[in-house]
Amino acid sequence: MRRRDWLRQCLHSAMALGWLGMHGGAHAGTSAPPRLVTVHSSLTETVYRLGAGELLVGTDTTSTFPEAANHTRKVGYMRTLSAEGLLALRPTAVLATDDAGPPVVLAQLKQAGVPVHVLRSTLRFDDVLEKVRLVAQLTQREAQGRALAATLQAQWQAVQGRLASQRAAGAPRVMFVMAHGGGAMTAGRETSAHAMLQLAGARNALEQVHGFKALNAESVVLAQPDVVLTTTESLAFLGGPERLWQQAGLAQTPAARRQRLVALDGMALLGFGPRMPEALDQLQRQLS
């Protein structure tokens, strides 16, 4: 059977069943547990933090934390999803951020009657709370959701209090460098790295740049960062700090001369999930 015909058959079957929660019970009137697919590590982490991991029937490849997430069925990278793979898991809901795609796949899921909840990223702490609210609602764990939100807000307030006491010391110039595969990249405005640096009271050394760009020796030397921020995954991929300092232009910066390098878990730092306040706290402390 050709791929297009198979997908059409899946769509027609899904609509005929009235997929929205009507196919799960073995007997009429029974209510089966939700079958959730999460497309972004932050959403997957939130499901586990609320004790609802058993409801996950699939996750995307960014979902590697906690360890249990690595044992879930994978639906591919969040930007290159396929309707076939998702529909085969018979989800009752798909949770995603606005990074997910392509749009045609999300449209096909909706056409099949699968609720698709897409959260718009504003790169603010409110994103974390909105993810907790949505997951708590869909997993019917509202009480756990309120408790988790209260914990995260307390962590957030503590971090903000420490930041206020550090402002007098001045804002260090920080360059974010990521190398999870292929060439090393840097981050400018309108990126999660830029947002986290601002929240930590630091200045992005490449704030004149928009989005993620390939690491360029000339721009690195001109930026003259005091500190380089990277991810633990990047250090593992490159082979350690010494190899990172060998990347284009970095050896000619104040950060290299002083060996000022901060490395944090990638999705904790950039994902705006439930580990975000803790990651921000670690970032602040290591930059101070």
Which string of DSSP letters, residue by residue, matches 131-199?
HHHHHHHHTT-HHHHHHHHHHHHHHHHHHHHHHHHHGGG-PPEEEEEE-SSSS-EEE-BSSHHHHHHHH
Rounded to an integer, the average pLDDT of 238-244 is 96
> Rounded mean pLDDT of the chain?
90
Highest mean pLDDT among 7-11, 22-26, 276-280: 276-280
The pLDDT score that the predictor gives to residue 167 is 64
Q: Report the C-alpha gap between 215 and 195 in whole angstroms.
A: 19
DSSP three-state, residue 77: coil
**Residue whose token pair is 């947002």:** 195
Eight-state DSSP code of residue 95: E
Q: Is the peptide bond before 102 cis (omega within 30 degrees of 0)?
A: yes
**264, 196 contact by CB (below 8 A):** no
User: H or E stretch including 39?
Assistant: strand 36-39
181 pLDDT band, cuts 50/70/90, is confident
Q: Which residues contact 209 (CB under 8 A, 6 or more apart)?
A: 186, 187, 188, 189, 219
**74, 59 contact by CB (below 8 A):** yes
Which domains are delineated in the chain?
3-147 (3.40.50.1980), 170-287 (3.40.50.1980)
For the CA atoms of 18, 24, 27, 30, the dihedral, rounded to the nearest 10 degrees, stands at: -100
The pLDDT score that the predictor gives to residue 2 is 53
191 pLDDT band, cuts 50/70/90, is very high
**Using one digit for the tens of pLDDT, what is the confidence trace for 41-88?**
999 999 999 999 999 999 999 999 999 999 999 999 999 999 999 999
CA 224 to the chain's CA centroid: 29
**Using one digit for the tens of pLDDT, what is the confidence trace for 195-219?**
999 999 999 999 999 999 999 999 9
Q: Report the C-alpha gap between 260 and 142 in whole angstroms.
A: 43
Q: Report the C-alpha gap between 52 and 36 in whole angstroms.
A: 10
User: Helix, strand, coil shares of the chain as percentages rounded to 5?
Assistant: 50, 15, 35
The pLDDT score that the predictor gives to residue 27 is 35
Q: Alpha-carbon Rg of the chain, whole angstroms?
A: 21
pTM, rounded to two decimals: 0.88
**190, 208 contact by CB (below 8 A):** no
DSSP three-state, residue 230: strand
Which residues are registered as beta bridge partners of 176? 229
